[in-house]
Chain A
Amino acid sequence: MREPETNHFRHCVRRRIGRGKHRWGQKRIRVAMAGNPNSKRIRIALAGNPNSGKTSIFNALTGQRQHIGNYPGVTVEKKSGVISVDGKLVEFIDLPGTYSLSAYSIEEVVSRDFVLNEKPDVIIDILDSTNLERHLYLLLQFQELGVPIVGALNMSDEADTKGIRIDSEQLGAILGIPFVKTIGSTGGGVDQLLDVALKVADGELDSNRRHLNYGKEVELAHNAIIDALETDVTFRKRYSLHWMAIKLLEKDQDAIKKIKKEHRFADTVLEITAERQKRLERYFQEDSEVIIGEQRYAYIHGALKETVSTVRKRKGIDVTESIDRIVLNRYLGLPIFMAVMFLIYEMTFALGNPLSDGISILFVRLSRIISAVLPAGPLQDLLTNGIINGVGGVLTFLPLVTLLFLGLSFLEDTGYMARAAFVMDKLFHIFGLHGRSFIPFMISTGCAVPGIMSARVLSNRKDRIVTILVAPLMMCGAKAPVIAMLVAAFFPEHATLIFLGIWLFGWVMAFIIALIFKKSLFRGEHTPFVMELPPYRRPSLKSVIIHMWGKASEYVKKAGTIILAASIVVWFLLSYPKPSPETIAESPREPSVVYSYAGRIGKGIEPVLKLAGFDWKVGVSLVAGVAAKEVIISTFGILYGMDNNVTENQSHVEFFVKDQLIRDPAYSPLMAFALMLFIMIYIPCLATLAIVKKELGSWKWPAFQAAYTLLVAFTMAVAVYQIGGLLGLGV
């Protein structure tokens, strides 16, 4: 192992080994005391760098039996799957793909907290065999956490073709960790991997009983900090002191926080740490963070020198580089990106919209059948207009969501997604956004619901929140007919120009507001763009389908329930209270929606809306439009006394409303213009708000979104109406 230098050092080593035995020994006792060992679930966490083929190994291990959820308290996706091996239940947890275990990104904190708090029985670290040097860096950090590890040397077929020979046994002997060669794309070696992992979990195979040596100077500092940490007995039991000491030397903020909160002699520990850091930094003339990073890489380098040999130089063409030469070409890059995005957009909407329409027709039929069967009354109303309408609303998005994620997972799996960000980053960075924000923006021009879900391509939370907050400002498929109708009614001469202008207005507002948010609410250091451009890989159909299926079912289960509940609430607001018989007798032509809560709100806010030139009819329609933007037209129809039964024929309604609007003397082109701007910006539809809640994990964000969009929309509309009125434009 190592050469103990001084008495002090020898003492430390001896004690540390002792502690290690004690720790794992204790665990075995616990397992034994739990009674029948078969009843205990073995928990295996999967870790690895992004692009290490972790997902394909996870799929190969669990198959379809996957559960997608979130890690508690954060919106980092947690995938898990349970299988049974020889009667024992084995649970696999897919940790987020990261390069390191620092405290800077949520994904990394989630990974390490999972290991620290949940103490999985084994960690399988998936490594790309063609680039072990960089992938082992993460493995070493899991090793520091002191948990049993099995290393999966994935993509070993690729390594073979490149002539990279890995002596996995020797590597295992050096690092004290068993390694298994696997091929994720075909599932090769996965059975053996599972076998070894289970043996380690049972204690049949040793793993990670050894700590890596950071070199004499660092070890001295390290041991001194461990000595200081040991003074608190409860703390000693809770954390791996070895790990904690390294993190302290690395100036890890999370570790410092933990010490301050949980260690009894926090001040002494931090003082000793600071002093040791200074000494190290003086010795190496480097930052301690850098020193430890370098020592890790040096250790890896040494281990690989003895175990990896490249037999023959790689010959032939580098496929990735040849593709990139075209795809990332300075001048071709942007057109290619646009073409790819157009394809994804077309696939989602051209294929998805007919399916969505089909689903909605199906639900209209269903509600007709129910109205025919059930007697008219509140129950029938609830079933047809509330529940069936709501469920239909959820399911009409389903084809869009499914197709979108089919496209996105294809982009992600091939490796193009990172290139897209590379091409678009400069432009988006001007507005404080990440290159990848383009995808949610673009999808939102079709529909904000899948658009917001696609914001997951952004790994940074701040970027994601800002993107999600502004994405619904785009003109979506539901706003388009409303705007088109208004344009046709009031600006028949310049219809195309005005429509295009309004469409652009959505984009411009999204960018401006994003910039404002970035400068105010989300100020601070830009998140690093540093990002891997992974080699192109052929996506496996299986993993694309599993991914798509997962997203679709997640959407229905999580978002669907919220959307459904919200639709029922809106239905209630629009239908209750019913007008009393007397009022019907008084004004029989008045539609019942006027008496509902929504109608009353619309009428109640008329004095305020007057500032923007809107009357109560507009008010009621806008309130109803929160449910879904296309409802604005049908509400107008009802308010103009259209028969409720004809509202199914959309074009007929549009024609009728357009006609009525032109004839209504209360409406001027100026007011219509203000109204269009208002509709573009104001509160996103319920489904969008629901999906924002789902994606960002709190009602705070949709509430904020609704509030700020309403404020901006109203200010904009009032300004346009008042200034336009003063200038005498379009009155």
Chain B
Amino acid sequence: MVLSESQQDYLKIVLDLINEKKVARVNDIARRKAVSMPSVTEAMRKLARDGFVYYSAREFVELTPKGLRTAHRLCSKNTFLKNFLVDVLDIDTDMAEKEACELEHHLSLSTLERFILLYQFLGECHKNNRITLDLFKKCIRITEGNGDKAEECQSCFVASNFPHHPGKNTVHTLLSQLERGQEARIIKLGPDPDIRRKIIEKGILPGTKITVETVGGDNRNFELQTDGFLVEISPEAADMIETAVEQKNEFRRLSDLKTGQKFKVQKIYAKGEIRRRLLDIGFIKNEKGKIIREALLKDPIEIEIKGMKVSLRRSEARLICVDEVK
């Protein structure tokens, strides 16, 4: 199924709207694409027929899994191209945004991959003042698997310290090192060309924001969430993808708090029965509580929540993510 340019745009807009406003309404789509409502309706009907969206008259537009996949791939491509134009070619943001939209429809996957490599190459090597076209070509050959690994580019595509978009407290780590629930931005795809291509096809490009849903390892895939879309990544690939993690200090595990500290529940990582118990007993988002005391060997701990005193093992408290309250 080949989508027309305008259909691709529609999908992107729907995804954007869903991420921004939680729902995509026909009138919002029309406004954003600067077309009339009937033409949006018409386009949505077509997309619905092809299985990209759920749509029936006067309802919100929702993306099907297939639509979501496609839209997400388009969006991450767009974001990357925008970054490329701004960071590398130093084009101003508005222009970059417009042209990225134009470009994305025409770039093949392999060309896109080269763009990604160039982007990474420039980011990696510019501080060494050794950027030459020859070196870049050599690097490409190496990553493609032909050609000796040149002495001077050992660090290429492998080492860390990507200079673009440095956040205030960002730390660079491999994707495989992230914990469940952690948010990160993709910095660099690994050196292996096959795996890299697969990752690009899944819409994971430099600049993509992800949240780790499931930590993999030992033949279990990692599950990442990007824009509300789940992507599976093999453990080998996760070992190669480099990410930047914003260090957040305010989120803590309940087990790390001291006696007498107050907290606000953020998220429960527990699964199964424990999760259910915690929910039922009132550990829901933004619920406030307080650690009252701990037993002789610092375990279990007593907590006050929803007007009730509850005892928890430390191992259970570790599965609750909280915000410290002063």
Bits for A409-453, please: 1 = Cβ < 8 Å to B, else 0: 000000000100111011101000000000000000000000000
Tell whether B323 is near chain A: CB-to-CB under 8 Å: no
Among all A-B residue pairs, the 9 with the closest Cβ atoms: A100-B280, A533-B309, A104-B273, A293-B279, A528-B274, A282-B228, A426-B297, A530-B277, A529-B313
- Which residues of B265-298 are within 8 A (CB) of A? 268, 272-282, 284-285, 292-297
The smallest beta-carbon distance between A277 and chain B, in angstroms, is: 13
Complex contact B295–A328 (CB within 8 A) = yes
Cβ-neighbour of A423 out of B273, B279, B295, B316 (below 8 A): B295
Complex contact B58–A330 (CB within 8 A) = no
Bits for B14-25, please: 1 = Cβ < 8 Å to A, else 0: 000010001100
- Which residues of A52-108 are within 8 A (CB) of B? 99-100, 102, 104-105
Complex contact B312–A290 (CB within 8 A) = no
The smallest beta-carbon distance between A720 and chain B, in angstroms, is: 34
In the complex, chain B residues whose CB is within 8 Å of the CB of A320: 309
List, sorted by A's number, 12 A–B pairs whose CB atoms are closer than 8 Å: A104-B276, A133-B282, A134-B306, A293-B280, A294-B284, A297-B284, A328-B295, A426-B300, A525-B272, A530-B312, A532-B309, A533-B311
* New contact pairs (7) apart from A130-B307, A289-B279, CB-CB < 8 Å: A6-B58, A104-B277, A137-B282, A282-B228, A290-B279, A331-B296, A529-B300
The complex places the Cα of A330 from the Cα of B301 at a distance, in Å, of 11
In the complex, chain B residues whose CB is within 8 Å of the CB of A528: 273-274, 277-278, 316
The chain B residue sitting closest to A292, CB to CB, is: B279
In the complex, chain B residues whose CB is within 8 Å of the CB of A134: 281-282, 306-308
The complex places the Cα of A172 from the Cα of B276 at a distance, in Å, of 28
The complex places the Cα of A134 from the Cα of B281 at a distance, in Å, of 7
Bits for A276-312, please: 1 = Cβ < 8 Å to B, else 0: 0011001101100110011001000000000000000
In the complex, chain A residues whose CB is within 8 Å of the CB of B307: 130-131, 133-134
By secondary structure, the A interface counts as helix
Tell whether B59 is near chain A: CB-to-CB under 8 Å: yes
Tally of contact residues, B, Cβ under 8 A: 41
The smallest beta-carbon distance between B20 and chain A, in angstroms, is: 13
Residue numbers of A with Cβ under 8 A of B are: 6, 99-100, 102, 104-105, 130-131, 133-134, 137, 278-279, 282-283, 285-286, 289-290, 293-294, 297, 320-321, 324, 328, 330-331, 333-334, 418, 421-423, 425-427, 429, 525-535
Complex contact B311–A525 (CB within 8 A) = no
The chain A residue sitting closest to B287, CB to CB, is: A297
In the complex, chain A residues whose CB is within 8 Å of the CB of B103: none
Complex contact A425–B312 (CB within 8 A) = no
- Which residues of B300-326 are within 8 A (CB) of A? 300, 302, 306-313, 315-316
The smallest beta-carbon distance between A224 and chain B, in angstroms, is: 11
In the complex, chain B residues whose CB is within 8 Å of the CB of A290: 268, 279, 284-285
Complex contact A530–B295 (CB within 8 A) = no
Tell whether B223 is near chain A: CB-to-CB under 8 Å: no
The chain B residue sitting closest to A527, CB to CB, is: B273
Interface centre among B22, B23, B285, B295 (most CB of A within 10 A): B295
Tell whether B242 is near chain A: CB-to-CB under 8 Å: no
When A134-B282, A282-B228 are in contact, do A531 and B310 touch as well, CB less than 8 Å? yes
In the complex, chain B residues whose CB is within 8 Å of the CB of A294: 284-285
Complex contact A334–B273 (CB within 8 A) = no
Complex contact B285–A328 (CB within 8 A) = no
In the complex, chain B residues whose CB is within 8 Å of the CB of A285: 228
Complex contact B296–A530 (CB within 8 A) = no
The complex places the Cα of A425 from the Cα of B314 at a distance, in Å, of 11
The complex places the Cα of A330 from the Cα of B300 at a distance, in Å, of 11
Complex contact A334–B311 (CB within 8 A) = no
The smallest beta-carbon distance between A534 and chain B, in angstroms, is: 8
Tell whether B62 is near chain A: CB-to-CB under 8 Å: yes
Complex contact B284–A330 (CB within 8 A) = no
Complex contact A283–B22 (CB within 8 A) = yes
Tell whether B201 is near chain A: CB-to-CB under 8 Å: no
Cβ-neighbour of A289 out of B276, B302, B315 (below 8 A): B276
When A422-B311, A529-B312 are in contact, do A293 and B58 touch as well, CB less than 8 Å? no
The smallest beta-carbon distance between B308 and chain A, in angstroms, is: 6
Interface centre among B65, B281, B299, B311 (most CB of A within 10 A): B311
- Which residues of B15-55 are within 8 A (CB) of A? 18, 22-23
In the complex, chain A residues whose CB is within 8 Å of the CB of B278: 528, 530
Interface centre among B23, B275, B276 (most CB of A within 10 A): B276
